[in-house]
Amino acid sequence: MALPEPIERLISLLKKFPGVGEKSARRMAFYVLQEGESFGADLARSVGELNRRLTTCEKCGNLTETQPCPICGDPLRDRSLLCVTETIEDLVSIEQSGLFNGLYFVLGTSLSPLEDRESLPEETVRLLRKRFEEYPIREAIIATNPRIEGDMTFYALLDALRDVPVKKSRLAYGLPVGGSIEFADRVTLHAALESRQEVRE
């Protein structure tokens, strides 16, 4: 049975979410309908405001309403440590663990064995290298995920920073191979940060 067009349209949009199939999308769509007009309006407004109010930090790539973001603008952050992540979600997970007080740089991209690319985009590398001129960075903590994309990205980063004379380390013990930083719990992240391995080039 075909459903009325407005609900079919919502279902087809919800199905685009990661991990959401036809059934879950239908349940969510009917939930929105049942909750009534004010919930639907709130939801629509929140979604609309995401792109209108949020932008990425010019310095680190974090999501922000201000330039620079509150992390880059915080004078109490340790400017000698730079943590490089693949995604904003990874930055958020590390930040919410409360275990890291340095600065970040979000690549916003990863290398993949399915693509032909062997290096990071030039503009990303340029912005990243600028951080090392701007801040007195002593150590770059490369927080790429423990899976093939993260490994490839890690080596591309080492290559992009090979002439930058700072200590380079990678998150270590605790993160399951094939797992992700985004879903790691605080204890695991703590272990991974504490036992990060210095990279010998």
- Phi, psi (degrees; rounded to nearest 5) at 83: -100, 120
Which DSSP string do the residues of 46-101 spell out, in sequence order?
Answer: HHHHHHHH-EE-TTT--EESSSS-HHHH-TTSEEEEEEEESSHHHHHHHHHHT---
Site for Zn ion in 69-88 (CB under 5 A): 69, 72
* 59 binding Zn ion? (CB under 5 A): yes
Distance CA 157, CA 172 (A): 17
> Shortest approach of Zn ion to residue 40 CB, angstroms?
34
Nearer CB in complex with Zn ion: 137/152: 137
3-state SS, residue 168 = strand
Query: Can you tell me which of 68, 132, 149, 179 binds Zn ion, judged by CB under 5 A?
Result: 68
Choices 21-29, 48-56, 57-65, 189-197 (CB under 5 A): range interacting with Zn ion: 57-65
Please choose, out of 8-16, 37-45, 58-66, 169-177, the segment that lies near Zn ion by the rule CB under 5 A.
58-66
- Residue 192 interacting with Zn ion (CB under 5 A): no
With CB under 5 A, what is the number of residues at the site for Zn ion? 7
Question: What is the pairing mode between strands 78-85 and 63-64?
Answer: unpaired
